[in-house]
Chains A and B, each alone.
Chain A
Amino acid sequence: MQHYSGFGLLKHSFSHHENWQRVWRNPTPKKKYDVIIVGGGGHGLATAYYLAKEFGVTNVAVIEKGFLGGGNTARNTTIVRSNYLWDEAAHLYEHAMKLWEGLSQDLNYNVMFSQRGCLNLGHTLQDMRDIERRVNANRLNGIDGEVLDAQQVQEIVPVLDCSDRARYPVMGASWQPRAGVARHDAVAWGFARGADAHGVDLIQQTEVQDLIIEDGTVVGVRTAQYGEIRADRVGCVVAGNSSVLAKMGGFELPLESHPLQALVSEPIKPILDTVVMSNHVHGYASQSDKGDLVIGAGIDGYNGYGQRGSYSTIEHTIQAVLEMFPVFSRVRMNRQWGGIVDTCPDACPIISETPVKNLFFNCGWGTGGFKATPGSGHVFAASLAKGEMHELAKPFSMFRFHNGALVDEHGAAGVAH
Chain B
Amino acid sequence: MFHIYCPHCCEYREEEEFHASGQAHIPRPLDPDACTDQEWGEYMYFRKNPRGIHHELWVHAAGCRKFFNITRDTQTYEIKEVYKIGEQPSVVANSDQ
Contacts and interface: CB of A to CB of B under 8 A. Distances in A.
A binds B: yes
Interface of A: 241, 243-244, 247, 252-257, 301-306, 308, 310-312, 345, 401-404
A185 to B, nearest CB: 26
Interface of B: 1-2, 14-16, 19-20, 22, 37-38, 41-42, 44-51, 54, 56, 72, 74-77
A254 B47 CA distance: 6
Contacts of B14: 312
22 contacts: A252-B42, A252-B48, A253-B49, A254-B46, A255-B47, A256-B22, A257-B49, A257-B51, A257-B74, A301-B20, A302-B56, A303-B20, A303-B49, A303-B56, A305-B51, A305-B74, A310-B15, A311-B1, A312-B1, A312-B14, A345-B45, A403-B41
- 4 closest pairs, A vs B, by CB? A243-B49, A302-B20, A402-B41, A254-B45
Contacts of A302: 20, 56, 72, 74
A254 B23 CA distance: 12
B75 A305 contact: yes
Contacts of A252: 42, 46, 48-49
Contacts of B47: 254-256
B57 to A, nearest CB: 11
A349 B22 CA distance: 20
A163 to B, nearest CB: 30
Given A252-B48, A303-B22, A402-B37, 18 more contacts: A243-B50, A244-B51, A252-B46, A253-B46, A254-B45, A254-B46, A256-B47, A303-B49, A304-B74, A306-B77, A310-B1, A310-B15, A311-B1, A312-B15, A345-B44, A402-B41, A402-B42, A403-B37
Contacts of A311: 1
Contacts of A244: 50-51
Nearest to A308: B77
A256 B49 contact: yes
A260 to B, nearest CB: 14
Nearest to A307: B75
B36 to A, nearest CB: 9
Contacts of A402: 37-38, 41-42
B52 to A, nearest CB: 8
A303 B76 CA distance: 11
